[in-house]
Structure 1
Amino acid sequence: MTTTTTRPTTDHPVLDAKALWQKDKDHFIHPFTDFSVFHQEGCDLITDSEGIHVQDAKGNRFIDGIAGLWCVNVGHGRAEIGQAMADQATRMAYFSTFNNLSNAPAAELAAKLAELAPAHLNHVFYSCGGSAANDATIRLVHYYFNRLGKPEKKRILSRNNAYHGTTYLAASLTGIESNNWDFDTLDHLVTHLSEANCYRRPEGMSEAEYCDHLVKEFEETIAEIGADNIAAFIAEPIMGAGGVLVAPEGYHQRMQAVCRANDILFIADEVVTGFGRLGHFFASEAVFDTRPDIINCAKGLSSGYAPLGATLISDELYEVLGTPQRKGGVLSTGFTYSGHPVSCAAALKNIEIIERERICENVREVGPYLEERLKTLSHHATVGDVRGSHFMMCLENVADKATKALLPVEARVGDRVAFEAQKRGLIIRPVGHLNIVSPPLVWSRDTVDRVVAILDEALGAATESLKEDGYL
């Protein structure tokens, strides 16, 4: 790897990589920081980006294999998005959307989202990201049932290994155990069901039988808690940070049917799957043939160019939410930055690019090729499973393919693979024993081939280091 300290072009100021690294290490508390290495190693600072590439403060250039963090769907450095944001910021950067005030980008974007979403989702509640969207959604759901005279309907059903965010309530919805080590959660509000993990389903059980098993667990949980006490079930169409878990065929439809039969709202968390990652603006109806009562989105909504989240609400729910609860009453929830005009302007231009450049079509064409090529990596001794769909993929690393036993945590297998890939010019995401590939949606087949070649080398090198250290 090169050790240059300046960017090869002159259109940005020269950066002092060492000073930046020190400032970052001394003052920035990073989300999901691994303090066992951070105090010594600090972080790699990414300073520049263009298209499918990013560059660090030392001048090293990488293929972005994670789209920033599931976000940068249209690719980096889109000048027209930056210009749209600048134009809006200089015209009017911010004004409140409280108390019967609004702004043009927020109104335009709400109408556009209603056009893109399933036909019954015509109303938009804005937030500042995915965690806030999920958090706000549950507050609105509770309010909805209070308004219907059903104040006992409070419990939310989520799933083990689900990821719905890190605000207090969203973290409680999240079912990844390690995310909440030593943090408090609202256990009285949330019950977690089994995740839909086809790779680790009970031995001898077919996928169809596994689907039956999961639906039965859902029905039994409802019977135990009481449908009158349950407000909603929340699920990602494909589980993201919890391991890119694709449920068995028909799972989401059947879970929705159980919800309908028990007066339980069905919430789709499309923070990751929305805006093209599976080849459609929204995956719930187009891919999984479901009609959620609520869809939450963020990330790809603005391609990460500005913080923005949205909760898309059905006409049926809005009929209740949009009725004054009493004389002088208002819908007294929201955020200072709800419908922020600069963020909404970024989202509008982002959606325009996705439509104009037929990016969803690119995902539907290149995505299956990415799946096919990544599966060729199964020849490596540690690759137990290659799963996912389109531009949302995962490699699960194991110690033994036959038993699916995992390597010890201290082997840090995901980190090893990611480190070897980064040495070769590719950033992928390690999550424990997993490696996630979730690229910008503008990858081509040629890019896929380059990425798979790098991963092939990286997995080989990681396997050798695991052998040297006595883990294999």
Structure 2
Amino acid sequence: MTTSTTPGQETRQQTRPSSLDAETLWRQDRDHFIHPFTDFSQFHDKGCELITDSDGIYVADIHGNRFIDGIAGLWCVNVGHGRHEIAQAMADQASRMAYFSTFNNLSNAPATQLAAKLAELAPAHLNHVFYTCGGSTANDATIRLVHYYFNRLGKPSKKRILSRRNAYHGTTYLASSLTGIESNNWSFDTLSELVTHLSEANLYRRPEGMSEEAYCDHLVAEFETTIADIGADNIAAFIAEPIMGAGGVLVAPQGYHKRMQAVCRANDILFIADEVVTGFGRLGHFFASEAVFDTQPDIINIAKGLSSGYSPLGASLISDRLYEVLGTPQCKGGVLSTGFTYSGHPVSCAAALKNIEIMEREDICANVREVGPYLEQSLKRLAHHATVGDVRGSHFMMCIENVADKTSGELLPVEARVGDRVAEEAQKRGLIIRPVGHLNVISPTLIWTRETVDTAVAILDQALAATTESLQRDGFLPA
């Protein structure tokens, strides 16, 4: 292994460059691959960096530059990269039977075993698994099942879903409607008549002078008022991430989720926990809803860490109470007529089973509970930088909010691209983090050690200093 040095004390470890033709692939990617969330103001000229190799906490690009993966692929590679056990489990299953339908009373062993394992790991009342292909489809399918549930109970008016501003629940048509990040839906249509968005629980930007306890009261009161305005008989469910992910890693006030659940129970509204990000160890437990937030959702939706990203897979975990209705024939010859060709895909389920086995054997959740608070404390030391307004999150789910003024929280103009600047400076130094507007998200693989944290935070310290200098040079901050 070698290191390369560029101006500004920027060092980046290198591995052997890929044998792939970098120039050809770069052009093919630019000319043919429509990437999710592409910034076309830059893409046509800059294209994409091709990541070709990975191992443990590292990924490498086509030129051999190696980086610490600070985003776990995209919230998901929880057990780390290059786990040969998972690859072998997938290969063995593909060799034996790569795919067969799970429609019409057919099944397969990995899907069956995984469903039983998920029921064992989940809160005790969630014993039934509806498989999907990822997080968006889990949230989408869940709403369809919820509407079906109330139709079967003779309550067809209960259709409205309550979500939250800055929530992220996916990008399929219905899931994007649940999503409350305004910029995600610019120029796209949504099912606005179906979804009402409440305020997000944003402690950093709560009303000035309001205590955390009073802020929680304020949010719960807004929920109750919204229910009264719409009518409980017209509301089917409330969906919430235990900690908001893409919307800014927002941690709600103490007791918020439990109180929101109580309001749901009092009004015959289902409580859906979107644990696509928080599930499978990111907060130190396989599921955060009960273990961390003391709630018992009617449905928990999962994906990402379920297979550690080794194969696409999602699921909705359904309570016994709902299954009593969903599992009853609707009429003679009537079936539960929803699902996906790849529901319970055997190769994906084999990957998930091995992923869970590794997590349990290595007690990866315990590592998160031990190293996570150290990551929180270490990142908070970055608050001395001029642009850092807030450092927040929990365990291996963290965010830096960049601002123009630390006292007022005023933001820099969009054209300053502050989140991108920080991410670019970090990547120069060997760490990949995620820019989301003025935010930077750190959501690493769950196998980081204290030593990894020290290295990553040192890189971020340099990256934030370099960003401040560039913003001053470009006139976005006073020199």
Q: Distance in 1 between matches of 2:406 and 2:382?
A: 13
1:8 CA drift (Å): 4.6
1:397 CA drift (Å): 0.2
Partner of 1:375: 380
Correspondence for 1:248 among 250, 253, 258: 253
1:126 to 2:131 alignment: yes
Gaps (5+ residues) in structure 2? 6-13
Partner of 2:306: 301
Partner of 1:138: 143
Is the 2:373–2:395 Cα contact (8 Å) retained in structure 1? Answer: yes
Q: Distance in 2 between matches of 1:62 and 1:296?
A: 31
Partner of 2:358: 353
Is the 1:96–1:337 Cα contact (8 Å) retained in structure 2? Answer: yes
Deviations 1:86-142 (A, max 9, x none): 000000000000000000000000000000000000000000000000000000000
Q: Distance in 2 between matches of 1:176 and 1:166?
A: 11
In the alignment of these two chains, the number of paired residues is 467
Aligned-partner SS, 2:88: helix
1:399 CA drift (Å): 0.2
Gaps (5+ residues) in structure 1? none
Correspondence for 2:239 among 234, 253, 258: 234
Partner of 1:199: 204
Partner of 1:427: 432
1:342 to 2:335 alignment: no
1:455 to 2:460 alignment: yes
Q: Distance in 1 between matches of 2:278 and 2:50?
A: 27
Is the 2:369–2:395 Cα contact (8 Å) retained in structure 1? Answer: yes
Q: Distance in 1 between matches of 2:37 and 2:55?
A: 26
User: What pairs with 1:27-426 in structure 2 (closer than 5 Å)?
Assistant: 27-426=32-431
Deviations 1:314-367 (A, max 9, x none): 000000000000000000000000000000000000000000000000000000
Q: What letter corresponds to residue 107 of structure 2 in structure 1?
A: S
Q: What letter corresponds to residue 149 of structure 2 in structure 1?
A: Y
Is the 2:281–2:364 Cα contact (8 Å) retained in structure 1? Answer: yes
Q: Distance in 2 between matches of 1:297 and 1:50?
A: 25
Is the 2:16–2:64 Cα contact (8 Å) retained in structure 1? Answer: no
1:153 CA drift (Å): 0.1
Aligned-partner SS, 1:63: strand
Q: Distance in 1 between matches of 2:80 and 2:27?
A: 29
Aligned-partner SS, 1:237: coil
1:462 CA drift (Å): 0.4
1:9 CA drift (Å): 5.3
Aligned-partner SS, 1:156: strand
Deviations 1:174-211 (A, max 9, x none): 00000000000001100000000000000010000000
Q: Distance in 2 between matches of 1:19 and 1:408?
A: 36
Q: Distance in 1 between matches of 2:132 and 2:19?
A: 35
What value does the CA root-mean-square deviation take over the aligned residues? 1.0
Q: What letter corresponds to residue 81 of structure 2 in structure 1?
A: H
Is the 1:201–1:210 Cα contact (8 Å) retained in structure 2? Answer: yes
Q: Distance in 1 between matches of 2:15 and 2:384?
A: 39
Deviations 1:51-87 (A, max 9, x none): 0000001111000000000000000000000000000
Partner of 2:11: none
- Percent of matched pairs sharing the same residue: 84
1:22 to 2:32 alignment: no
Is the 1:2–1:59 Cα contact (8 Å) retained in structure 2? Answer: no
TM-score, normalised on structure 1? Answer: 0.98
Deviations 1:26-68 (A, max 9, x none): 0000000000000000001100000000000111100000000
Deviations 1:194-240 (A, max 9, x none): 00000000001000000000000000000000000000000000000
Q: What letter corresponds to residue 232 of structure 1 in structure 2?
A: A
TM-score, normalised on structure 2? Answer: 0.97
Moved over 6 A (4+): none
Correspondence for 1:445 among 445, 450, 461: 450
1:14 CA drift (Å): 1.2
Q: Distance in 1 between matches of 2:23 and 2:357?
A: 39
Aligned-partner SS, 2:389: strand
Q: What letter corresponds to residue 183 of structure 1 in structure 2?
A: F
Aligned-partner SS, 2:208: coil
Is the 2:280–2:306 Cα contact (8 Å) retained in structure 1? Answer: yes
Aligned-partner SS, 2:223: helix
Deviations 1:222-259 (A, max 9, x none): 00000000000000000000000000000000000000
Aligned-partner SS, 2:143: helix
1:470 to 2:472 alignment: no
Is the 1:49–1:77 Cα contact (8 Å) retained in structure 2? Answer: yes
Q: What letter corresponds to residue 157 of structure 1 in structure 2?
A: L
Q: Distance in 2 between matches of 1:29 and 1:257?
A: 43
Is the 2:15–2:60 Cα contact (8 Å) retained in structure 1? Answer: no
Aligned-partner SS, 1:416: helix
Q: Distance in 1 between matches of 2:226 and 2:103?
A: 40
1:2 CA drift (Å): 4.8
Is the 1:121–1:315 Cα contact (8 Å) retained in structure 2? Answer: yes
Q: Distance in 1 between matches of 2:272 and 2:150?
A: 15
Aligned-partner SS, 2:175: helix
Aligned-partner SS, 1:313: strand
Q: What letter corresponds to residue 350 of structure 1 in structure 2?
A: N
1:454 CA drift (Å): 0.1
Q: What letter corresponds to residue 396 of structure 1 in structure 2?
A: E
Q: Distance in 2 between matches of 1:88 and 1:265?
A: 37
Q: Distance in 1 between matches of 2:136 and 2:152?
A: 25
